[in-house]
Structures are given as structure tokens and as C-alpha cells.
A and B are shown apart, each in its own frame.
Chain A
């Protein structure tokens, strides 16, 4: 099972440099969108300082479908090697903001898989989806995601045997 080293937020270029030093020889970085600097503006610096693959954690929260399309196409063209689809933290932008969920993760998956099928994303661009670990509804949704275009599940706990081969483990840096 591959490990993703997770950077949920980047607040300055100095902050990024320090995090990348910490990542050291890691093979795969997952960059989240919770910082003041958007990952799309950081990929060049990340790629010059980090030799492994870099995935964008693409959250549904507070983006509509047009923006999500734009983000994923920009991420691929800027050099990200893949995305991890997630619903995202609730109202991360502050208590007064109206939370926006135009698409849910399954709908994002459908849209991004279609972009890949149409050749608008490189064939090598990996599509993964965050998942909880558990039985019942959680396992049923995890099966759905894998059956509908997610190459991997990205999880932060030990996954069950059924999903082990199709799982990437998220670990905070």
C-alpha cells in the first residue's frame, strides 16, 4: 500500500520550503487546499524541490462544477500527477460563509472520469477518492467509487482487507 504524505495547507513559500524539506525522500505528496496559497500556484516550486509524484486534494466544498472542471484541468496542465477527490471540511472559510456543495464526490468522480475518457486529462493522471474506513454505508460507497472510475481510495486509517490493494494511505507530514 502506497503512502501519501499529506500537506493540508500552505501559507507561505517559506512554509512550503520547510514542508518539502520535511518530506525528504517521500515518494508521493498530497497537497490540500486549506492554506492561504492555492496549490495550483505552488506546483512549479514543489516540482523543482520534490522528485516524487504530487497529487492535488480537490475538494468539493465551496466550488461549483465549473470551478471544479477548471481546477482539475489546470492541475493536470500545471504538472500535478493526480487528484484525490474529497468533500472537504465543512465551511472551512468561516462561520458566516454559505457552504457550497454543487457536486458531491461521486458526481466529481463522474465528471473527472469523463474528462479523462475524452482525453482532456493525460492517461497517466491518477484519479483517487478519499474514503472513510468502515462497514455498511462506508464500504458500499467505497465499492461504488472503485467501480466508477476511482483508481484508488485515499484513507487515513488502516483499510479492511477487501480494499487493501486499491488503497493509498494518507499520513500527515
Chain B
């Protein structure tokens, strides 16, 4: 799930200052779970920006980052879109861009996009994968050091480890200690010596794309 945070109301007000007719767009997937772009937050945004402006429509799209779904849902708002000066998107950055591409309109990004999160329960989201493109979880007892080590080291603990503790996040164990313990408890300690090449940035530099060949 993509974890997002609300930008400050003052910031949104400033960003929307020049626009008089707005459409507010929410996301009923990730941003709804984060309570940053669900129907409640769409209503709040309409109230925040409604003063002195016209809110032409509010809409919650199931996956606004999916252009097919956005395009389908915006078809219902053709008239409102025509009249809108701008859209305010309570979505991740990918959603904002998809909406801008689909509508051809100015879109105000109302959220900051933080990370790909593992959900424990509502309000408890944890970064566990930084989508590095070269997954090593099969050697690391399904614990990602690229994400959980502040230095992102792929091959064992650094020299700064204090006993079992990380020198950067010193309230936490070094992730490589945790990996070693889990591998050892499974009788797989030899995997700890597996060597992981540095990522090849010629294949994982931005922007990444996945294009399927037609069969």
C-alpha cells in the first residue's frame, strides 16, 4: 500500500488560491486506508476550499493511479470537468499524474507520498520494501536490509554495529543481526555469506517502466 500524508491546510489554500472552480478527487484504495484521501477527507477538503470558491464535484475513484479507471470515472463528470479551473487530488503522486494525464487539467497534489507500506492495522504502516528491483529476500530470511538498514547495506552488518544494536537507529537491533538470528534458527546460517552484487543502475534507473510485449 502506498502511504501518504496530508499537506498542511495552509499549503493547500495557497496552492488553490488562483482557482475558483474546483473538483475534489479522492482515492478509495491506499489513500482511503491512510485516511488521507477517503470520502471523509474529500468532504473535509471541500469544506476547506469551499469558502469563496465553487466546488463543482467531489469524486472518489477506486484506483486513481490506474488511468483506465480514472478515465472511466471521469466520463461521468464531463460537464463539471469542462468548467473546472483545477482538480485537487487526495492521492499519491502516481494518482495525481494519472489524473492530470487523463483529464488534461491542472491538478493540485494535496498529499505527500511517503513509502510503500506494510499495514499492521489502521494507523500502523511500516516501510518494508524500497522496490530496489533486485530482490534479495530469499537470502535474508525474508527481511529486507535494503530498507531496514539505514545505510541500505546488502551484505552484512557494518563496522558501526554496537553489540546487536544499530548505530543510526540505536533503539533498534541491527537488521543484519536479526537476519543472522533468523537464518541460524532455521539452520540456514550459510546463506548469510551469500554475496549480493550492487544494483545495476543501467537497468533500474528512473523512470522505470514495465511494458509487456504483445503475444
Contacts and interface: CB of A to CB of B under 8 A. Distances in A.
B153 A104 contact: yes
Interface residues of A, number: 30
A104 B192 contact: no
Contact of B160 (A87, A129, A141): A87
A100 B182 CA distance: 28
Given A90-B150, A101-B152, A137 B174 contact: yes
Interface stretch (A3-11, A14-22, A105-113): A105-113
A65 to B, nearest CB: 6
A87 B153 contact: yes
Chain B interface mostly: loop
Contacts of A104: 151-156, 158, 198
Contact of B198 (A86, A102, A138, A148): A102
A73 interface: no
Given A136-B180, A141-B176, A65 B159 contact: no
Interface in B158-205: 158-164, 167-168, 174, 176-177, 179-181, 184, 189, 192-193, 195-198
Given A101-B151, A104-B153, A104-B158, A140 B189 contact: yes
B154 A107 contact: yes
Contacts, number: 90
Contacts of A132: 157-162
A62 to B, nearest CB: 11
B152 A138 contact: no
B135 to A, nearest CB: 16
B13 to A, nearest CB: 27
Interface of B: 150-164, 167-168, 174, 176-177, 179-181, 184, 189, 192-193, 195-198
24 contacts: A60-B151, A87-B153, A89-B160, A90-B150, A101-B151, A102-B198, A103-B198, A104-B154, A104-B158, A105-B153, A106-B154, A106-B156, A107-B197, A130-B159, A132-B159, A134-B161, A136-B164, A136-B180, A136-B184, A137-B161, A137-B176, A138-B161, A140-B192, A144-B192
Given A104-B152, A143-B193, 13 more contacts: A60-B151, A61-B151, A86-B159, A87-B151, A89-B160, A105-B158, A106-B195, A134-B161, A137-B161, A137-B181, A138-B157, A144-B156, A147-B193
